[in-house]
Amino acid sequence: MKRLDWNGLDEAARREALARPAQSRADELRRGVERIVAVVRERGDAALRELSAKYDHCALEAIAVDEAEFAAAEASLDPALKAAIREAAARIEAFHRAAALQPVAVDTAPGVRVERMLRPIGRVGLYVPAGSAPLPSTALMLGVPAHIAGCREVVLCSPARADGRCDEAVLYAARLTGVHRVFKLGGAQAIAAMAYGTASVPKCDKLFGPGNAWVTEAKLQVSSDPDGAAIDMPAGPSEVLVIADAGANPVFVAADLLSQAEHGPDSQVILLSPSADLLDQAAAEVERQCAELPRGAIAGRALAQSRLIAVDSLAQAVEVSNRYAPEHLILQVAAPRALLDGVESAGSVFLGQWAPESVGDYCSGSNHVLPTYGYARSYSGVSVASYQKQISVQEVSADGLRHIGPCTATLAAAEQLEAHRRAVTLRLEALA
């Protein structure tokens, strides 16, 4: 990991220090995704089978997972794993129900009631990656809030293995959370299928979930097409920023950095500390622990583009963190809540030495589908609200129009919208 002193850097060097790994949206990738989307739109299921053979190395007979496959998946899983999935789902549901938006009704003037009502998005598509490792936790993070929101139809795509089957734990989690249909599809072709529909896969109104560069590019492309589908958020590679003080445990700090670095070679991890000793110890621990990891080679490639940054104070560390806007922010300091009020941009925050980012990935109850690549400045993680539409309602009585009609007419006249003004004044004349 590259070591830097924040206060010894000029502005250009500071920008470079916080630069993400180059996100792959090269012309070749963009054109490749365009070709996949086009062929799926044109040839539907036949294209999906061909692309699955090409990219996932499997021959799909049926694209949809059938009941026998769901039953076989559940029967094959270790009871301890099934219990852990159920336990995690219960905590995710408890938090998401408590955090869900509520209907609102306010009398803004006598005789004027304004309301907000909530309606679920009709059909949503969930994407669960299974490239270097299947992610049943993502099925929970996407399926639970969709169920709470009450979406009429929830479909899920996840890549099949060479044997033509989806990961058993992903299928179990999908069924547990109430997903209605699962399709054995991955990559850009899965996104295209859910965005535009095929004979087997229904067209969805909004798409959710993380993925590789091809999936991310496909989501961006279909979301910019009026005939496509909305998406949860723009996203990039996984990332974590750790703020640690002199008393932080370097073993824990290193473990947290590596827990994100092992996601992929384009992941990024950053450690900020005012303590030179802590930075030294954490660097040594990262090297030692990385050598012990099964995915150590992947983590090592991510570490090559990661940073150890010395700052003057914890307050300055928070300022740097806000500038970076990390997906995950870990405050390994003696009094983490003292820093929390200063945090302005982060996908999810973890307080203290006993809150590893891993618990948020799996079972603390919060959602792990979060904005990355700096999008935490303007986006939030997936929640029940992500699956809902907020519709405003106005109810105005005759007395209510007498109260607010003149204000409306004055503003309409100022904007030179005479029909707007007359829609009010004609009614006020009728009430005179």
Q: What is the DSSP string of 60-109?
A: -S-SBPPHHHHHHHHHHS-HHHHHHHHHHHHHHHHHHHHHS---EEEEEE
* 22-26, 114-118, 135-139, 157-161: the lowest-pLDDT one: 22-26
Within 13 Å of residue 74, how many CA atoms lie on the same side as its CB? 12
Give ranges for CATH 3.40.50.1980 in the chain.
Answer: 2-23+236-365, 27-231
Show binding-site residues for substrate. 238, 260, 263, 328, 361, 415, 420
Q: Are 149 and 121 in contact (CB under 8 A)?
A: yes
Of residues 124, 132, 120, the one with CA closest to residue 186: 132
Burial zone of 379 (CB within 10 Å; 0-12 exposed, 13-18 middle, 19+ buried): middle
Give ranges for CATH 1.20.5.1300 in the chain.
Answer: 397-431
Q: Which CATH number fits domain 397-431: 3.40.640.10, 1.20.5.1300, 1.10.10.10, 2.60.40.10?
A: 1.20.5.1300
- Residue 53: per-residue pLDDT: 95
Beta carbons within 10 angstroms of residue 273's beta carbon = 27
At the top level of CATH, the class of 2-23+236-365 is alpha beta
State yes or no: pLDDT of 24 exceeds 70: no
Of residues 319, 328, 324, 344, the one with CA closest to residue 381: 328
Show binding-site residues for Zn(2+). 260, 263, 361, 420
Residue 327 annotated in active site: yes
How does pLDDT run across 163-198, given as a tens digit for each residue?
999 999 999 999 999 999 999 999 999 999 999 999
Show binding-site residues for NAD(+). 127, 189, 212
Question: Averaged over 226-247, what is the pLDDT?
Answer: 94
CATH architecture for residues 27-231: 3-Layer(aba) Sandwich (3.40)
Burial zone of 402 (CB within 10 Å; 0-12 exposed, 13-18 middle, 19+ buried): middle
Which entry of 327, 344, 368, 429 is annotated as an active-site residue? 327
Q: Are 137 and 361 in contact (CB under 8 A)?
A: yes
Query: β-strand 123-127 against 206-208: which pairing, if any?
Result: parallel
Q: Which band of pLDDT confidence, cut at 50, 70 and 90, is reported for residue 25?
A: low
**What HEC string does 176-237 produce?**
HCCCCEEECCCHHHHHHHHHHCCCCCCCCCEEECCCCHHHHHHHHHHHCCCCCCEECCCCCC
Its pTM stands at: 0.94
For 122, 168, 232, the CA distances from 151, given in Å and listed in that order, are 5, 24, 15
